[in-house]
Chains A and B, each alone.
Chain A
Amino acid sequence: MNASSLTPIDETDHTQGPDDAPVTLIEYGDFECPLCGQAYPIVERLRRDYGDDLRFAFRHLPLNKVHPHAAQAAQAAEAAGAQDAFWAMHAALFKHQRALEYEDLKGYAEDLALDTERFARELDERVYNKRVQADLRGGVRAGANGTPTFFINGVRHDGDFDFDTLSQAITKAGA
Chain B
Amino acid sequence: MSTRQSTQTTPGAESALSPGERAPDFNLARSPDDSLSLGDLRGQPVVLVFYPADWSPVCGGQLALYNEILEEFQRFDARLLGISVDGVWCHKAFAEDKNLDFDLLSDFQPKGEVAEAYGVYRDGDGVTERALFVLDGDGIIRWSAVSPIDVDPGADGILAALEDLDEQEVTR
* A interface, CB within 8 angstroms of B: 1-3, 5, 62-66, 136-137, 140-147, 149, 155-156, 158
Please tell me which one of the listed residues B4, B61, B99 contacts residue A145 in the complex, with CB atoms under 8 A apart: B61
Contact, CB under 8 Å: B98 / A146: no
- Grouping DSSP codes into helix (H, G, I), strand (E, B) and loop, the B interface class, with mixed when no group exceeds half, is helix
Contact, CB under 8 Å: B159 / A146: no
Contacts A1-B154, A136-B69, A140-B155: A145 and B62 contacting too (C-beta < 8 A)? yes
Give the residues in chain A near B65, CB-CB below 8 Å. 63, 140, 144-146
Interface bits B1-35 vs A (CB < 8 Å: 1, else 0): 11110100000000000000000000000000000
Please tell me which one of the listed residues A1, A146, A155, A158 contacts residue B61 in the complex, with CB atoms under 8 A apart: A146
Interface centre among B62, B101, B155 (most CB of A within 10 A): B155
Contact, CB under 8 Å: B3 / A65: no
A99 to B6, CA, bound (A): 39
CB distance from B7 to the nearest CB of A (A): 8
Give the residues in chain A near B99, CB-CB below 8 Å. 65-66
Give the residues in chain A near B72, CB-CB below 8 Å. 137, 140
A33 to B154, CA, bound (A): 17
With an 8 A cutoff between CB atoms, is B68 at the interface?
Answer: yes
Contact, CB under 8 Å: B154 / A147: no
Contact, CB under 8 Å: B151 / A158: yes
Contact, CB under 8 Å: B64 / A1: no
CB distance from B140 to the nearest CB of A (A): 23
Give the residues in chain B near A156, CB-CB below 8 Å. 2-3, 154
Contact, CB under 8 Å: B152 / A1: no
A158 to B153, CA, bound (A): 10
